[in-house]
Amino acid sequence: MNTRYLVLAGLLVTLLMGCRKDYEAPVPYTFSNMTGSGKFPTAIRQAINGVYTVTDGSDKFGAQVVLRWTYTHNGADTSHHLSVFTSNVGYFDMEPQPQTGGLAVGGYWRRLQDTEIGLVQLTVNVRRSGVVSPFTGRLATGDTLVVSGVYGDGDVTPTKRLTMTYARPLNPRPFSILAHRSGGRTSDLLPASENSVEIIKMASRLGATGIEIDVRYTKDGVPILYHDNTLNLRLIQKNGLAGPIEAYTYQQLNTLVRLVNGERIPTLEEALQTVVDETDLSFVWLDTKYIGSMQKVQTIQQTYLQRAKAAGRSLQIVIGLPSDDAVSLYRALPEKANTPVLCELDTSITRSINANIWAPRWTLGDQRAEVNAMKAEGRTVFVWTLDEPQFIREFIDQTRFDGILSNYACVVAYYHYSQQ
């Protein structure tokens, strides 16, 4: 073939292959990190928690949403955030705005499956006999809360109307909403990187009541949070380092490596300290990604279970066993008392090690008989890692699992809290 034809074909191929699009979803809102609840004391926050019907804005956020307050601690201070969870894989993250008259919140909304994001400003009002007035904290019979305001796209000043009217309280049934990778995947363009301290602090605002974190050892034996086998640009900023993370000491990783949003790779202890001291999370699943003794992780698990207990926190920390190798590491522990574990393998292995929790893959389906049997034996049953929104609804409505691990905690939260 003539050389020029080959060159032409090569150019066409290069053109076709060189067009991979980079997606971004920068948050257009800067949080004040105001402490205290401002004009939103406990009674008002509790009154606002609920399932709402959406009128203005339903084309964007669906006909129904869930509103729920969460908090994080910073020392003696507490910051409160109001989240909205939507059926179309969206969430709002809003903080009180005391400078605005009335009960006002502001922040941003995001749809996790794509890059849609925008600002939102809302006020809380009450409808009484058809008249809407600012909510002052007292609800009389027949009063209805109306949370309304404006939202926008990107960083433009919001102008589109959004009206949400209280419909009913949140479903009170206990259910674990477990966020994958400490809160969510980096590939979903969240404001914080997966397996970082920052995403742990965000997890409850994303809908989670618990988190799953990936534990590995550094070269010098420090348990850290990291998912992949290697340092790669999917998870970290460009720095010239590559290869297995176990080939680097903690000092090297701490000094030279930053996660994609600029955070440090945290140690397991830093992560659990954050959970205990700064969040309202009630469950931590330590996924075993390492090869080597489980003893260090067990010691840390027990230390932070004691610290949580001392702090009056109802917190479970369990070691996840995803493979036969991990089960062997667990069996090799000299002392297994006070070491709650979660088994991802079949029911016979779960029974043989007397795991507190059984967690099969969601792709195995409802597994009705097995779930019923495990629950009858007093075990908790979770399913992982389920992200497909329609299947999340099916699992919540049709099965007896006690919790779902998902990259989209906001969807699990929406379907769980809105279930009637």
Contact set for another protein, span 171-190 (CB under 8 A): 187
Q: Does residue 154 touch another protein according to CB under 8 A? A: no
Question: Applying CB under 8 A, which of residues 395, 401, 414, 417 lies at the interface with another protein?
Answer: 395
Give the binding-site size for another protein (rule: CB under 8 A): 46
| Smaller CB separation from another protein, 155 or 366 | 366
Closest distance between another protein and the C-beta of residue 365, in Å?
A: 2
Contact criterion met (CB below 8 Å) for 314 and 282: yes
Site for another protein contains 13 (CB under 8 A)? yes
Interaction of residue 366 with another protein, rule CB under 8 A: yes
Query: In this chain, which of 30, 129, 141, 390 binds another protein, going by CB under 8 A?
Result: 390
Q: Considering beta carbons, is residue 170 or 349 the nearer one to another protein? A: 349
Residue 153 sits in the site that holds another protein (CB under 8 A): no
Any contact of residue 195 with another protein (CB under 8 A)? no
Rule CB under 8 A: say whether 7 interacts with another protein. Answer: no
Of 139, 116, 109, nearest in space to 126 by CA: 139
Binding to another protein, residues 105-134 (CB under 8 A): 111, 113-115
Residue number with CB closer to another protein (18 or 172): 18
Closest approach, Cβ 387 to another protein, in A, equals 5
Q: Looking only at residues 81 through 100 of this chain, which bind another protein when binding is defined by CB under 8 A?
A: 89
Cβ at position 146, least distance to another protein in Å? 30
Rounded CA separation 393/301 (Å): 32
The least CB distance from residue 285 to another protein, in Å, is 18
Q: Which one of the spans 157-165, 168-176, 261-269, 395-403 is the region binding another protein (CB under 8 A)?
A: 395-403
Closest distance of CB 91 from another protein, Å: 15
Interface with another protein, residue 2, by CB under 8 A = yes
Q: How far is the CB of 17 from another protein (least distance, A)?
A: 6
Burial of 410 (0-12, 13-18, 19+ CB in 10 A): buried
By CB under 8 A, residue 361 contacts another protein: yes
324 belongs to the binding site for another protein (CB under 8 A): no
Residue closer to another protein by CB (options 82, 341) is 341
Distance CA(345)–CA(357), nearest Å, equals 11
User: In this chain, which stretch among 4-12, 76-84, 144-152, 293-301 interacts with another protein, using CB under 8 A?
Assistant: 4-12
When asked if residue 348 is in the footprint of another protein (CB under 8 A), the reply is no
Question: Between residue 22 and residue 51, which ones bind another protein under the rule CB under 8 A?
Answer: 23
Q: How many CB atoms lie within 10 A of CB 316?
A: 18
Q: Please identify which residue in 155, 228, 269, 270 interacts with another protein, judged by CB under 8 A.
A: 228
Closest CA to 316 of 354, 274, 253, 272: 272
Q: How far is the CB of 241 from another protein (least distance, A)?
A: 14
Q: Contacting another protein (CB under 8 A), which of 135, 362, 382, 415?
A: 362
User: Alpha-carbon distance 400 to 382, whole Å?
Assistant: 9
Verify binding: residue 77, another protein, rule CB under 8 A. no
Contact in structure between 61 and 226 (CB atoms under 8 Å): no
Residues that bind another protein (CB under 8 A): 1-2, 5, 9, 12-13, 16-17, 19-21, 23, 89, 111, 113-115, 187, 227-230, 232, 234, 345-346, 360-368, 387-391, 394-395, 398-399, 407-408
